[in-house]
Amino acid sequence: MRSRLITVATAIVCTVLGATAPASARDATSTPRPVPAADLPGPIEGQFDLSGFDPEPWRPFRPGDITLPGGVYCPFDLHLHLVEDEEMTRVDSRYPDGSVHINEYKGKLVVDFTNTDSGVTVRRDLSGRGAEELRPDGTRKTLGGVGPFGVGFKNTDAYPAGYYVVDGIHVTTWDTAGRRHMAVAIGSQENICRTLA
């Protein structure tokens, strides 16, 4: 998939540059600018629709602290405090109407997870790299990456409930009913709910 995208994108760039450059420049022998490609390993790349891959500039992504209510992922309220956050995000492709199709994420992220009932806290590095694919209606379809990163599963999902810190290669998918599935799991999965219980 990646090589096909590079070939198509390179052809488009060469055509556009050739059409707008003066004749003397078109006649000169030059190497076309490299076209960026999705930087996702094979098992992940195969889970995404990368057609229309046209990455925009990276920009800071600062989601802030959050408390996940008890009963959603863990039996207790789970507080996530961002200790270090140098995350970046970029839009890799858009739908024809301009809405986001694929977002990509990278950068340093260190999080303290706290069981708000007991006060027990553990610190984890979530500085992996990944991407998410959205459906045209804005609902999430796929989340995958190279860990470590975090992902949650509810009691209604097709995977044991919990908030997981995963390392290695993992892909989570959402069916049209909103149930989450672990489509690819290569590496470790730590259920933070159990760690903090």
Going from N- to C-terminal start, the domains of the chain cover 1-37, 39-196
Q: How many Å apart are CA 139 and CA 153, to the nearest integer?
A: 16
Nearest to 113 by CA among 80, 82, 85, 84: 80
- On the question of pLDDT at 10 being above 70, the answer is no
Residue 36 has pLDDT above 60, yes or no: no
Judge contact between 24 and 57, C-beta under 8 A: no
Question: pTM, whole model, 2 decimals?
Answer: 0.77
- Distance set, CA 68 to CA 43, 64, 121, 125, 189 (Å): 30, 13, 15, 19, 19
Closest CA to 73 of 189, 164, 148: 164
**3-class SS at 58?**
coil
Q: Which two tokens mark 38?
A: 């999705």
Q: Which residue has the higher pLDDT, 97 or 37?
A: 97
Check: CB of residue 48 under 8 Å from CB of residue 133. yes
pLDDT (mean) for 125-136: 95
